[in-house]
Each structure stands twice: as C-alpha cells, then as structure tokens.
Amino acid sequence: MSEGPSLRLRSRPRGRGESFSISRGGDSSPFGAHRLLRKSATSTLTNECVTNVEPVLLTQRWTVNNFSSLLKLSQPGLCLRSSVFKDPTMPDACWQLCLYPGGKRPENANNVSLFLKMSATSPLKEVVVKAEYRFFFLDEDDEIKFSNVNIGDFHAKPPKGGHSWGLRNIPRQKVQNSIRADNSLVISCTIELLPDAGRIPCRRVEPSALIITDMAEVSRVHVQNELAMFTGADCSPYSDLSVAAGPEEDRVVFAVHKYKLITHSDVFRAMLEHNMEESKLSKQKFLLYFAQISPRGFLVLDFQSCL
C-alpha cells in the first residue's frame, strides 16, 4: 500500500465538546439492540439550579337565586357579597365578589356592577398583589353568556385593608340574557396571580444530573438492515464502492456506499478524493483494500460511524 492517510479510522467530529459511545443491551449478538449516547460539553458544569414558578389559580362559583327580582327592584348601592375565599399559599390575602344588581352608585343606575375585592387577613398588614381576573355569567349548560378579562393591581393597606377592581356598568340587558330558567344568576370568577416571592424556591441540581446525554434507541431491525447493505448479495449491484478487508486467505469484500464513508470519516474522504493505490478501479466500481483490518473490525468501525 502506498503512503497516505493513516489506516487508523476515526469518525468525523459531531460537534465541539461532544463525544460518542455505543452501549449494548443484554442481547448476545454484537449487533443487537444498541443505544447511542452523546455526552455534551455542558457535563463539565459543577453548579446549576432551577426555579419553577407555578402561578396560583383560584376559582369562585357563585349562584344568586331570584335574580330577576333583584334586577328589577334593587336600588343603586345595594351590595350582595359572596363568601370569602383564599389560597393556602397566600395566607396574607383573601378574596370576595361584590355584586350591585342596581349599580354601585346613582350614576350606574340601569346597569349592574360587579367587583373583585382583595382584603388583607390582618388589618395591620399591607398587601400588594397583581392579578388577572375573569368574570363569567353561565347559563344552564354552563356555557359562557358573558365574559370579561382584566388585570388589576390590588393594594390593601391599613386601616381600610381592602381594594377592589371590577366593572361599574354591565348593561342590564346582557345580565338579563344570562339569567337561567330558574331565575338564578351563576357567576364564575377565576383569578391568576404569582405566589409570594418568598415561597418560590430555587432548587439546586445535583452534579450527577448535570451530565446531559441524548439517548436514542437503535432497533435491531435497523442494525440488521445496515449490515445487510455490506454483506447481502442482493445489495451489491446497487452499491458504488467495494471494501476488501483482511489478508488474502481470510478476505471479505463488502458492498458499501461512498457517501456514508466520506460523511463519517475524513480518512475515507481523503482516500476517495485522491488517486491512491488503495482505490483501484474495477469494471464497475472502486475497490478499497485493507489487509491489516479484519472483516469483523471493519464491520465494527462502519457500525459506529454510520449510526
């Protein structure tokens, strides 16, 4: 063989800082079920942490019976209040719906007013919360007849200790269309807000978890098909390159494809790009001859580079 690129075959680098290895499952065959592991350069990190922020979601469903009569007879300023509700992760704030069937003030007459009130659980404590709140009126099938979405900055401070956001002028006709056949009005309110910053933990990632690996299961059928391309007699007419491996008395000729070899090996690329003695042109295709590599060794090299 003439002087040229070393016969020490290597795979083309996949990316900076990455290395590849192949592990085999319990199958006794050397080409059975395999896993391809990639270890990233980020595995050299020694410190990492994660903060998971989970928004707080609260929902209150409120049924007001005989609302037809309330809508007809209520004076401005008459207020109905729902029960108080809160989330255990935010013990400093509680919430309540306030409904004015005749409007909150005289200037809101002939309209319905609906508010979401936040109060501090302690009259001596100041509480500031930014929340998205949604109002819904639901019909008999719990379908939405009316909806409204807003974001409010709720600020409860002593001594009053409460702050409300909502709608002053909901048209009476829209509310009338939402009243159920039993004359009730069903109101649903959903609140989304962030938890207290002191309750958002930062979790350290253990060093063992810092090794980032991408694992891909390679099926046995896929591996068998790959090997069949090298050794199957029916595949030989469709290949464009033959590789002869092993000494003359134990030589095996494999039918391969040039694009696979040059994609994964700079050595094979150099051999095929230059007129080397190892590449001899036969009547139909190139022939690469390696006397120092056993047939089994070539299969292992190609198996590693072509997955």
- Residues 122-159: tens digit of each pLDDT: 888 899 999 999 999 999 999 999 999 999 999 998 88
* Residue 115, token pair as written in the block: 């508010």
The runs of H, that is alpha helices, within 107-181 are 172-176
Q: What is the mean pLDDT of residues 239-247?
A: 75
162 within 8 A of 128, measured Cβ to Cβ: no
Q: What is the mean pLDDT of residues 23-42?
A: 46
Give per-residue pLDDT as tens, 44-76: 557 888 998 889 999 999 999 999 999 999 999
For the chain, the average pLDDT equals 77
Q: E strands, 47-184, where? A: 49-51, 56-64, 80-81, 93-100, 111-120, 127-138, 144-156, 162-171
**Looking at residue 208, what is its pLDDT?**
61
Give per-residue pLDDT as tens, 176-233: 999 999 999 999 999 999 987 777 888 888 766 445 555 666 677 777 777 666 665 6
Q: With 70 as the cut, is the pLDDT of residue 235 above it? A: no
What's the alpha-carbon Rg for the chain, to the nearest Å? 37
Q: What is the DSSP letter of 224?
A: H
pTM beyond 0.75, yes or no: no
**In the chain, what percentage of residues exceed pLDDT 70?**
65
Instruction: Report the alpha-carbon distance of residue 122 to residue 214 in Å, rounded.
Output: 52
**Looking at residue 234, what is its pLDDT?**
65
Kindly indicate the confidence band of residue 12, based on its pLDDT and cuts at 50, 70 and 90: very low
Give per-residue pLDDT as tens, 100-120: 999 999 999 999 999 999 999
**Looking at residue 144, what is its pLDDT?**
96
Kindly indicate the confidence band of residue 37, based on its pLDDT and cuts at 50, 70 and 90: very low
**Looking at residue 7, what is its pLDDT?**
39
Question: Comparing 62-71, 85-94, 296-305, which segment has the lowest mean pLDDT?
Answer: 296-305
* Residue 304, token pair as written in the block: 């590693």
**Looking at residue 26, what is its pLDDT?**
45
What CA dihedral angle connects 181, 182, 184 and 187, to 10 degrees?
Answer: -60
Q: With 80 as the cut, is the pLDDT of residue 94 above it? A: yes
Q: What is the mean pLDDT of residues 279-292?
A: 53
Kindly indicate the confidence band of residue 261, based on its pLDDT and cuts at 50, 70 and 90: confident
Domains of the chain listed by start with CATH number: 56-193 (2.60.210.10), 220-300 (3.30.710.10)
Instruction: Report the alpha-carbon distance of residue 14 to residue 34 in Å, rounded.
Output: 19
Q: For the chain, what is the largest distance between any 2 Cα atoms, rounded to a whole number of angstroms?
A: 108
Residues 6+ apart with CB under 8 A from 105: 76, 77, 168
Instruction: Report the alpha-carbon distance of residue 200 to residue 193 in Å, rounded.
Output: 13
32 within 8 A of 24, measured Cβ to Cβ: yes
Q: What is the mean pLDDT of residues 159-177?
A: 93
Instruction: Report the alpha-carbon distance of residue 187 to residue 81 in Å, rounded.
Output: 12
